[in-house]
Amino acid sequence: MGANRPSLDALRACPTVWGKSPVIHAVRRISSGVLHCLGTVFHSLGFNKRDPSVLTISDCEGAGEMFAIDPVQTEKFFGQKVGLTVSSQWGLELFVQSEEKVWTDNPSFRAEPSDSSRHLASFKHIEWEFAWASIDDLMDLSEQLTQACFKYVLENHNDDLRMLDMSVSKGIIDRLQILSKATYARITYSDAITLLKEAPAGRFESIPNWGDDLGSIYETYLAEEVFGKPVFVYNYPKQLKSFYMKQNDDGTTVQGCDLLMPGLGELIGSSVRESDYNKLMNAVKERNMVVDGIEWYLDLRRNGSKPSAGAGLGFERLIMCCTGLKNIRCCTAQPVYYKGRLIF
């Protein structure tokens, strides 16, 4: 933006003015187009749109980031404690047993106390679940969906992109052209650790060892500096991922997969779901999880169930990729985030 114009962060502090910004207008038009594109692709592939309830008793991610609703009120109304969903995954897993291909654009809510430019407390969560899918099928579909969005924006939002390119996102058009044509890299978690250990001396203060989480600085390095394009990292150590991910034969890794984007880090998290009831129950016991309340989910692996795989994409993070904006709070109409003030 021009030297005499307020920054987007300054404009966001005044909501009645922020929405009038040409940049924000462009971002909102692109957001609308990308959502239309996603729906079109899912429909063409035979996915049914299903929107599970955002009120739930289950924290399916298991990270303790669920927003609780007044327990007195919910127990009086529902007879049990209820919170806002962190993911619609489990609902989609239920639907996929009868429909085989389902997706949603439900909101998800995360009570993660993060003040970073990549996190929101409420965000549009594009999630999908499909039966009989392998980890390769997961990566193929994630690549197909994201590239369809990049191509759509290039073909249908040329004026918006040119305005962004001249003001706040220099090079965004060239970047999208590269992303829309790239063949995404695919490496195992073990390969990722090896590549990080081969980083130039002094590049990082410390290097993660096998079994450590890959933080955003390492994810961004792999996608931006090592490969220069999106990269899938798969077969993570089982202790890093949720209990429901399918276990590999090595006994130490699971079929979880993250899509890492240049300049951003993680865009999509996905996994093949564990279909073996006994293995799933062993994972529950190993983590000392409380079974009460999730029996129905465990029972999905019994009585002729269909194995499935699924993924979750943070829509506003996808808009960051499509617009070149660096702050996720500029990529949603009404940003809700840690320590942010709600005005309505």
Per-residue confidence (pLDDT) for residue 13, from 0 to 100: 74
Cβ neighbors of 206 (< 8 A, separation 6 or more) are none
Per-residue confidence (pLDDT) for residue 5, from 0 to 100: 62
Per-residue confidence (pLDDT) for residue 6, from 0 to 100: 63
Task: Give the architecture (CATH level 2) of 8-330.
Answer: 2-Layer Sandwich (3.30)
Cβ neighbors of 197 (< 8 A, separation 6 or more) are 207
Beta strand pairing call for 48-49 and 101-104:
parallel
d(CA 160, CA 182): 23
pTM here is: 0.95
d(CA 145, CA 42): 8
Of the chain, the end-to-end C-alpha distance in Å amounts to: 28
Cβ neighbors of 246 (< 8 A, separation 6 or more) are 254, 255, 271, 272, 273, 274, 275
Positive or negative, the CA dihedral 277, 106, 267, 131 is positive
Per-residue confidence (pLDDT) for residue 14, from 0 to 100: 77
Task: For the chain, 344 residues long, give each residue's pLDDT as a single digit of tens.
Answer: 544 566 777 777 777 777 788 999 999 999 999 999 999 999 999 999 999 999 998 877 666 689 989 989 999 999 988 999 999 999 999 999 999 999 999 999 999 888 888 999 999 999 999 999 999 999 999 999 999 999 999 999 999 999 999 999 999 999 999 999 999 999 999 999 999 999 999 999 999 999 999 999 999 999 999 999 999 999 999 999 999 999 999 999 999 999 999 999 999 999 999 999 999 999 999 999 888 888 999 999 988 889 999 999 999 999 999 999 999 999 998 899 998 877 76
Per-residue confidence (pLDDT) for residue 18, from 0 to 100: 76
Listed by start position, the domains of the chain span 8-330
